[in-house]
Amino acid sequence: MKQKIVFLMLLAAALVFLTACWSSHETDELGYIILLGIDKGERNIVNVTFQLAIPQPIEGGDAEKASEVISVEAPSLFAALELADSFISKHLTFIHNKAIIVSEEIAQEGLDRYINPLVRSREVRRTNFLMVTQGKASELIQANKTLVFERYPSRQIDIFMAASRTTGLLPHADIHRFYEGLNSPGSQPIAALIGMEKKSPEKEKEDELKQQEQNSKEKVEQGLAYLPGEIPRKGGNEIEIIGLAAFREDKLIGYLNGKETRFYQLLTGNFVRGSITFPDPDPKEAGSNIIVAEIIQGRKPEVTIDLRQQKMKIRLFLEGEILSIQSGENYEQGRLRRQLEDYVSRTISREATRLIRKTQEEFRADIFGFGENTRTDFLTWQDWIEYDWLSKYPQFEVSVETEFHVRRTGMMMRTAPSEQKEG
């Protein structure tokens, strides 16, 4: 009987401890960090910027009332978090964080010391977007309070990154992918590129002179070759997300603009669809007329690597729909259709090859992850590591072959030439 009583007492005590929630917080006690910015500190190691969501913004008010921005200088990210708790009436949490934005200066010094605690944290999701800005992260986050269409900055970032599936102008870069790139013998990490609109009169004059120097064909070919802050536009949100930040190990080494990022997506198999503008295949029409096609990835690229001869061949499989033919030529049928398919295939192969060579010669980094395809050439993991693919990647001879087929021609089966063209 005594043993039974003792057992029941122990069971009751255990239940008390099991049901206790010593570290719990009520919902109204939490402050939700939706964006995190990391800059180099002036008086301390880092300057950490938090954009906090205000759960109940005033109805009918502007977007600035939906969030608040604070900055703290501290020796580490989590030290900044604790210091912020000393002057914010909420306990700050990362459970609804959407993106980590780091300055160019921090990225050039190396991100390993910042990625490691983020990956280790129980609150930070590895699916959070990772972005690099050429300016200060604190200034960019402050500018992100002025929104168009969206009330909350986190929702805006989600929509921007979802656009990567319909344009291919930016990569779907997150903390987990960066961490994988840091620790893989066959690839290097990347991040998305974010910046602010540059409104200075000097910048507008410089862009205008640059465009005047280009002929029509060059303007078409360079139509998407922009970094954040370079897009010729007026109105809209102050921030721009376009392009890619390339890393060698954990240090920033260069950027890809929007056009180059699209070919990066094609080569990695992450491209879904996007419209591409080409000069007309006819040399007589190339300077004045264009063809626009929506390109769709037919299937994943094939990568063949010969380690002995140091040769690599990539095959791209694409299909598309014709959206516009300005010249009036009947590229939808017969010989001209085959001519268009060959022309698009050659153009994409040329641009993709040019991008790979840039990563070999300028970056000296395999940001595509081609080296992951060499795993099966080695018996053991140690053999693969000792081969040291990343040091040999710049010496490989690369060729790109593209198969492009027109699957649809829009709502027109045949382009009818205008009367002026016939005359």
Q: In terms of C-beta distances under 8 Å and separation of at least 24 residues, what long-range contacts does 337-344 make, across chains too?
A: 337/406, 339/281, 340/281, 340/291, 340/406, 341/404, 341/405, 341/406, 343/278, 343/281, 344/278, 344/293, 344/320, 344/402, 344/404
pLDDT at 63: 47
**pLDDT per position as a tens digit, 312-353:** 999 999 999 888 888 877 878 888 889 989 999 999 999 999
What average pLDDT does range 205-233 have in this prediction?
Answer: 67
What average pLDDT does range 234-250 have in this prediction?
Answer: 88
pLDDT of 133 above 90:
yes
pLDDT of 94 above 90:
no
Least confident stretch, 16-20, 70-74, 397-401: 16-20
What's the rounded Cα separation, in Å, for the pair 314 and 201? Answer: 44
Question: At 369, phi and psi to the nearest 5?
Answer: 80, 25
Least confident stretch, 2-11, 282-291, 302-311: 2-11
Task: Give exposure, 153-163, as e/b (b: 16+ Cβ within 10 Å).
Answer: bbebbeebbee
pLDDT at 160: 73
Residue 203's pLDDT band (cuts 50, 70, 90): low
Give the CA distances from residue 12 to residues 1, 3, 24, 109, in Å, rounded to whole numbers and listed in that order. Answer: 17, 14, 22, 55
pLDDT at 394: 95
pLDDT of 219 above 90:
no
- If one counts every other C-beta atom within 10 angstroms of the C-beta of residue 406, the result is 18
Residue 21's pLDDT band (cuts 50, 70, 90): low
Domains and CATH numbers, the chain: 29-197+233-256 (no CATH), 264-416 (3.30.300.210)
pLDDT at 326: 83
What average pLDDT does range 386-391 have in this prediction?
Answer: 93
What's the rounded Cα separation, in Å, for the pair 156 and 149? Answer: 9
What average pLDDT does range 354-373 have in this prediction?
Answer: 95
Higher-scoring residue by pLDDT: 109, 8: 109
pLDDT of 423 above 50:
no
What average pLDDT does range 144-170 have in this prediction?
Answer: 70
Least confident stretch, 26-35, 38-47, 146-155, 177-186: 146-155
**pLDDT per position as a tens digit, 116-125:** 888 888 888 8
- Asked if residue 239 lies in contact with residue 144, where contact means CB atoms within 8 angstroms, the answer is yes
Mean pLDDT in the chain?
A: 82
pLDDT at 58: 47
pLDDT at 392: 95
| Percent with pLDDT over 70 in the chain | 77
pLDDT at 10: 64
